[in-house]
Amino acid sequence: MKNIVILISGGGSNMASIVRAAQTQAWEKHFGARIAAVISNRHDAQGLGFAQKQGIPTQTIDHKTFASRASFDQALAVAISHYDLPDQPALVVLAGFMRILTPAFVAQFEGRLINIHPSLLPAFPGLHTHQRAIDAGCQFAGATVHRVTAELDFGPILAQAVVPVLPQDTDKSLADRVLTQEHLIYPRVVRALVSGETF
């Protein structure tokens, strides 16, 4: 069995798209893969409710209760490692997880830690990506699924989706259109990884 642990901080719409794909495409039956847990750093993350309704174990590790980023990451690593199986470490999927991870954490989960970012990396790493794309006069924007490295939003790219930037776009309208593409490409990448496809 390949366990998938999804980390969220808010609504969890990308998490939900992955969960639905796992259900409708029968990942457990076909690939021996399941969504084993959803972990949040916020008690009020709306995505926790969705996961619970699907019967997925959830956990909250509140970063505000830790004295340092490193101590929070250590606790998070312990929680994730609970889902590691012998010779089958869990795949860790960041889905709107709004924390910058320490190099030690990234190193511990190297090769099995992925993220989705709402821009066409390497353009516009960090925050406010949609407004920055509009301000820069970009004709296209999009989303990127990538492996996580110690450098923020810099890891090897696994997939991208492109959307046009329209003349009337606001950051919200562009974000909404990009998000629909995120919901398509992220489950595809996770499925590819658990089914043994290579990138």
- CA atoms in the 13 A half-sphere facing the CB of 188: 13
Give CA torsion, residues 90, 20, 10, 130, to 10 deg.
100
Band of pLDDT at residue 134, cut at 50, 70 and 90: very high
pLDDT beyond 90 at 171: yes
For 29-51, the DSSP string reads: HHHSEEEEEEEES-TT-THHHHH
Note whether 19 and 186 are within 8 A (CB).
Answer: no
Neighbours of 30 (CB within 10 A): 11
Residues 177-199: what's their mean pLDDT? 94
How many angstroms separate the most distant Cα atoms in the chain? 53
Q: Which domain, by its residues, includes 130?
A: 2-195
| CA distances to 89, 99, 141 from 105, in Å | 15, 12, 30
Dihedral sign for Cα atoms in the order 100, 104, 107, 109:
negative
Please report, for the domain that includes residue 33, its CATH number: 3.40.50.170
Span 16-24, average pLDDT:
98
pLDDT at position 9: 98
* CB 78 within 8 Å of CB 66: no
Confidence of residue 192 (pLDDT cuts 50, 70, 90): very high
Task: Please give the Cα distance from 39 to 60 (Å, whole number).
Answer: 6
Given the residues 30, 43, 117, 128, the one annotated as active site: 117
Predicted pLDDT at 198: 72
Average pLDDT over residues 150-175: 96
Domain tally for the chain? Answer: 1
Active site residue 183: no
Across the range 15-42, mean pLDDT stands at 98
